[in-house]
Each structure stands twice: as structure tokens, then as C-alpha cells.
Chain A
Amino acid sequence: MVAAGVVSPLGAGLVETLASLRAARDCISPVERFPVEQCRCTTAGQVSDEALAGVLPNDRKSCRLHRASRMMIRALAELLEQAPDFQPELMVVGTTSGGMSFGEQYYRALQQSDARARHLPAWIANYPPQKPAIDALEACGLASPCQVIANACASGTNAIGHAFECVRSGRYQRILTGGYDALSELVFVGFDSLQAATPEKCRPFDNARNGMVLGEGAALLALENYETARARGAEILAEITGYGISTDNHHLTQPHPSGIGPRQAMERALQSAGLPPGAIAYVNAHGTATPFNDAAEGKAIADLLGRVPVSSTKGMMGHSLGAAGAIEALITILALRHGFLPANINFRAPDLELDLDIVANEPRATTAGTALSNSFGFGGANASIVIQALAA
């Protein structure tokens, strides 16, 4: 990885993100974009409008774009500041809902014979899930083809993993990868209807955990073949050295309680990296704080890796779905490069069923460089990547 860009509830850009991680900042706030009074959960990790202002020189055009497009433009612009000559042969990114809120507005307008009907064509044109990726490429003058993976909450990690395999196979030299998602009412209410969202704090791996909070954001990573990056003298921030994907056919929304899906993904990632389990010094867990997910993932981590330090950063920023894997990969890289493990905030008491070394509430100093980053999603989609971060 030779460059990166990010916007999330933790901040706009790598510098703000790093500061939030160091401070173990709780960036969850009350939802303001749509009505949530009837929901069990009323909070989320949200990207501020200020962070997305002025992403295009033409402000009128910028206003027509979906928030997810503006997040992607913001992240790509930051990446290209570090690597202005980066010309990807392919873009592989993940999302779950793209411009969903424009679809919601369209539907509401139909219901209410809304006077805003003049906006309908623009909403339709900007609604497709791939649009934010294409908008970002266009805004930044890049012209690569685009593959948009929608493997639910594993999408971002799947995208990075697939991009890694494409480069490692020698079929590509440079790939732009990552993920994006913006909060939408439909998805928010959907998770709430499943009782998967919490009315309290999101407490991953805590004994009293009772659900997630949602989030939003975008993160992009510039992946380049290691030898060519070295040969041209590029600063290498981290290496992706392994990828594992598995499909758990147990249930559409619940993992098999044995943790077989997460375990297979992690085992395959280690096998892909050629590493033994003992080489992993930190796990950035999917850790949504739902009872079933954390139990399955925690069991898989403990069984496979023993008492390795583990944290989920979703307590700080929420679960940004298709963006989560990409943001969390970057969080892992940023933290390890700066000598600490990010905190698992809101942690009060361990789940006695899970023998885990949780990085509880405060960042922990480390000299480690090798980590796993996990993402798991609906449909039994499981993905893990092995990251080797290089000290800053």
C-alpha cells in the first residue's frame, strides 16, 4: 500500500483519524438525517457535512451528488495527494447500499406526489450503487474500469483481498481498492427491525453487549506490486500479505455458532500469507457487538490464535457496512505504524465464554507489525486479510 485516503466519523483524512484513534474517541452521535423515534437505536457514527464540503470546485454539481460520492471523492483526493502519479489499472471497491437514500427520496416523492418531482431524474441517475465509485474516478481524472463488490458487511475486506490477489497473481500492477457506504433510513431501520442495533452504547465483546450502532464513511488504498513500488522509490506504508474468504451457509443473517465461517476465513488468510497463527500480533475484529456475531468470531479467534490482542473499533465509529473493512484496514495500518493497538471502547466486563485479550478502552503500546483484519456479513460472507504495517 503506497497511499490511502479516508473519511469516517473519526475524522476527515489520515491525520484526524489517527488523532481520534490515539484519544479512543467516541464518535457516535444522535441520528439527524431521518426520523428514528420509533427505532430501538437512535444513534450512529456520522460523517459531518463540513468534512464533505467543497469536494468539487463546482458546488452545484457537488450538491447533486450523493453523500457516498462526496465521501469517495474526499478519500480519493487525499490518496492522490500522496501519490499523484498513481494510475490504477482497475478499481475494486465494496459497498452495500451506494446511493440508497436517493432511492428513498424517490419513493417518498411518489407517495406524496411531492413538488420536488423535478429532482426525480437526478435521484435516479445518482442512485445506482456503483455511482459513487465512478463519480470519484471522474472527479479525480482517473479512467480505470470498476468492479464494485456487494458482499454485505464483508464487502470492503473482500475488495481489498481480491485486489491483493489480482496484484499478487501478476495480472495487475496497480489497483485502487477500498469501500464506501452512507447512512440510509432503509438500512438503519432494517438492522433495527432485526433487533441487531443497540439502544445503548456499542460494546463489542462485552458480557452485556446487545447490538451495534451503524456508521458511514469511505476509505481507499492504493495497492501496487511490491517490487515495482520499491524500484520506483515509493514509500511503502504497509503490505497486504494474505487473504481468506469463506461462505457460511448456516443462515442468511446469523453465523454458525461454532464460528466455522470466521475461522475458515482467518485460516485461509494465514495460509495465503504463509504464516503460522503465532505470527499474528493483533486482530482488528469485525466485532459488531451483537451477541451471536461476537460469540462466533470470538470463539474462532480464541480457537485459532489463542490470547492475541483483539479490538473492535466499531464502538468508536459505528459499523459502516461496505466501508467497514476498508476503514478498519486503514485503522490497523495507522495504529501499528504509530506503535499502538486501537482501543475497544465501552468495554466493561468480559464475556466469560470468550477467552480473549481485549484491548479495553485505551490504546495499548506495541511494537507489533502483523495483524489480521476481519469482516463478516449477511449471506454468510466472511473475509480476512493479513496486514504487515511498516513503522512510520
Chain B
Amino acid sequence: MSLSLVGLGWVTPLGSTIEEVWRKLLAGASAQAGTLGDSLGEKSYRAFQVPPDAIAEAAKYPRLRRSSAISRFAVVAGLAALRDAGIEPNEQTAARTALIFAISNGGVIYTKRFFHEIIKSGAQAASPLLFPETVFNAPASHLAAILGITGASYTLVGDGAVGILALKMAEDLMANPELDRCLVVGAEEADWLLCDAYRKWRLLRAEPPLEPFARPAKGMILSEGAGAVVLARAGDLQLQRVHPGGNFARQRELVRQLDRIGREIKNGEAPDFVIASANGTFIDDAEREVCASHFPGAAVYTPKPALGESVAAGGIWQTICAAQALRRQELPPLLHAPGELGLTTARSPAPNKWRRAVVTTCGLNQQVAALSLVAR
């Protein structure tokens, strides 16, 4: 079965229209880090946050009045992807659209507030308004309601690989001829608590820049936002293969898993470029190794130094970057990478030469997946 990406939308710390953010990435811009503090600890953290004007459209929807930031990001990105695909949300289109939502940390801001009230004042102080927004599928529910989807709506949880796993699920769902398209959305919101957890796990860096492929790994900068893509059966950007990957119990197994996935997704046909998930952590070395061994001539790019690590949204952002680079035949500069990288970082080929892209996503919690995309 052949599926194509026919619509793209994102909400990022650099803005929320595909072309605006892409222009900034091409110009070598990176998001400005804000400071996150909390009464829970003296330490503050730096994270890339979505500017309020990037989600101004969300104010139009009364359903989002009490919702968390993650739901607003998702709705704005989802609507943008449908617009990009030329699809008017109405009863007819909604009936033939499935929604798949990828999430990792979920509505952490409201979850923290809800639990804080329980600890501080006891169970009787728990807010019945907050609790429903803490449930993993709340953002998908808001988006489905705004679009009028009454059929298939799934929320998938996982780590940084969950965006690609959601695309795999979309591929499986599209075996159903009653569906014309799948809207796949990945979203995340940043919070002090997440930063603190990642720091205690020794994966977070105190200050930008996020330096991909550095040795030793220096840590990531967390970010937030959403990415959305529309999949349909016909289009110019064909989803050639979505590899569901696997799981790695130990970090050293990641290299073995990624090697297998790299070999299988290459399938005798070298990609022109790779959009990696390198984020300044242990996964960078594994991706560097697989790029060097399986995709030696391919240009390598990761958007994470510019946009940060947005976990579930990250895999969709990478996919959007791959689609944009195939559409525009140009890659943004790889920011803050070491000089002696040993990988190709060419930004632009001869006109219309790039045809095939690979996206690799390695999560920090044991999941890994990949896909290949072809321009027709």
C-alpha cells in the first residue's frame, strides 16, 4: 500500500507556519531559551518554549478555554496540516479521517498542579476540573471534537520514537478502505518537573546550545510544541517505508537495533539525506555510527539544536523537515556540531537531485523507529 504526506503543520519555539519556521532554520536561527522555575527546587532550567502568538488561533475555540498548552499546540498544528492538504474540516471529511495522536509526557503542567493540591491540602482539595485534562487522550479528544471526528481516534504513548510509531499505526489503519486520510499529531509541553527529571537522569544540559554528536555527549535542551502530518493514498511525497523498529533494554543494544533498522530501511537504496534525532545524549553516537556505516554518502541533519528536544513532537518535526527538504531541495545548516564530525552535512545538491530521505528516531526510554520518504 502506498501512502503519501499531503499536509504538514507545526507549532515550534521558532513559530508556527511551515514556511516561516523553515526559512528561519535555513538561515541558521535557533529558538531562544526561556527559564523555568518552580517552588519544588532552587534550581531553574532552560527550555525552548512556544511563543504565545504562535498559538493565537487556539483562542477561537471555546473547548480549549480550560485546556492545557499541549492541547492548544496540537489543535493549531492539526488544523494547519489539514489546511496545507487543502482539506476543509466538515462532517464529510471528518467521517473519512482517522486521528492518531503521539504523546510522551502528556499534560504534565496540569498533572503536576493536580497532584500538588493533593499533597498540599489533601484529597478533598483535588480539582475535578483539572483531572480530566491530565488524561493522556485529552488533547486528542479536544482536537477530534473541533474537527468533528466521530470514528477512529487513537492516542499512542511512548518516547521520542512514538511519532514514527504513530505513522506506522496510520499505515496499518489506512488498510481500511473507508478511510481517506489519517491526521497524525505529536505534541508535548515543557515544564520544570520534566527538566528536573531529565537532569537527574543526566540527560539535560544547563544552558543552550544543544550540541549534536559531541563527544562526550553534553546533554539536551527540552522544548515543546506540536507537529502534524496528513497521510493520504496519493501525493508527491511517498511514505516509502515506516519501520516499527524495536526496543533496547540497554544503551549498547541501541547500536545493534539501529544497525538492523538502518540495513532494512536502506534496502539497497541509499538515501540522499538523513534527518536524525541526535539531541546531545547517548543516542547521538548510535546514530552517527549507523549513518556512517549504512548511509555514508548521505547528508545528515538534526533540527534539535534549533528547536530543542520535544520528545513526541520531535519525530513528527523530523518528518516535516524531511518533507520540506525534499520539496525545497535544501537542508538547513547543522548547528553546533563538532568540526570533525565524519559525516556529510551538505546543505544543497544539484537542482532536483534529492529524491530519498530517511528519518531515524531513537527515544530515551528504549524505543527506536525509522521511516523513508521518496519524492515522486
Task: Give the B-binding residues of A (Cβ under 8 A).
Answer: 35-36, 38-39, 90, 95-96, 98, 104, 106-108, 110-111, 120-121, 124-125, 128-131, 134, 137-138, 143-152, 158, 162, 165-166, 169, 171, 185-186, 189-195, 245-249, 252-253, 264, 377-381
Contact = CB atoms under 8 A, between A and B. Distances in A.
B249 A138 contact: yes
Interface in B121-174: 122-124, 126-128, 131-138, 140-142, 144-145, 148-159, 162, 165, 168-169, 172-173
Given A95-B157, A124-B200, A381-B153, A36 B141 contact: no
B272 interface: no
Contact of A128 (B114, B150, B365): B365
Contact of B158 (A120, A130, A190, A264): A130
A149 B154 contact: yes
Interface stretch (B216-224, B239-247, B289-297, B315-323): B239-247
B120 to A, nearest CB: 9
Contact of A145 (B124, B197, B198, B369): B369
Given A38-B124, A253-B132, A248 B200 contact: no
Given A107-B193, A193-B128, 7 more contacts: A130-B367, A149-B155, A150-B103, A190-B126, A247-B150, A379-B135, A381-B137
Contact of B157 (A39, A150, A378): A150
Interface string B66-99: 0000000000000000000000000000000000
A39 B123 CA distance: 6
A120 B41 CA distance: 14
B172 A247 contact: no
Contacts of A190: 114, 126, 131, 134
A121 B201 contact: yes
Contacts of B149: 247, 249
A149 B144 contact: no
Contact of B247 (A111, A146, A192): A146
A149 B156 contact: yes
A134 B367 contact: yes
B247 A249 contact: no
A228 B118 CA distance: 52
Nearest to A188: B123
A192 B152 contact: no
Nearest to A252: B132
Contact of B150 (A95, A131, A146, A249): A249
**Residue among B132, B149, B247 having the largest count of chain A Cβ atoms under 10 Å:** B247
Given A104-B115, A130-B159, A253-B132, A165 B172 contact: yes
A146 B248 CA distance: 11
B104 A246 contact: no
Contacts of B165: 145, 147
B176 interface: yes
Contacts of A377: 137
A129 B157 contact: yes
A144 B154 CA distance: 20
Given A107-B119, A193-B131, A195-B128, A130 B144 contact: no
A110 B244 contact: no
B287 interface: no
Nearest to B101: A150
**Residue among B144, B154, B244, B245 having the largest count of chain A Cβ atoms under 10 Å:** B154
Contacts of A143: 246-247
21 contacts: A96-B136, A128-B157, A128-B365, A134-B247, A143-B247, A147-B168, A149-B156, A150-B136, A151-B137, A165-B172, A165-B173, A169-B172, A193-B123, A193-B126, A193-B128, A246-B150, A252-B142, A378-B141, A379-B135, A379-B140, A379-B144
Nearest to A126: B365
Sorted from nearest, which 4 A-B pairs have the closest CB atoms?
A379-B141, A190-B131, A145-B244, A150-B136
A232 B170 CA distance: 31
Contacts of A379: 135, 137-138, 140-141, 144, 153, 155
A195 B126 CA distance: 11
Contacts of B40: 107, 110-111
B175 A186 contact: no
A246 B193 CA distance: 34
Contacts of A247: 141, 144, 149-153
A1 to B, nearest CB: 19
Contacts of B329: none
A121 B154 CA distance: 30
A297 to B, nearest CB: 17
A148 B156 contact: yes
Contact of B136 (A35, A110, A129): A129
**Residue among A96, A106, A137, A152 having the largest count of chain B Cβ atoms under 10 Å:** A152
Contacts of A107: 40, 112, 115-116, 119, 193
A148 B157 contact: yes
A245 B111 CA distance: 27
B13 to A, nearest CB: 23
Contacts of B175: 165, 169, 171
B263 to A, nearest CB: 16
Contact of A137 (B115, B118, B247): B247
B309 interface: no
Contacts of B140: 379
A152 B249 contact: no
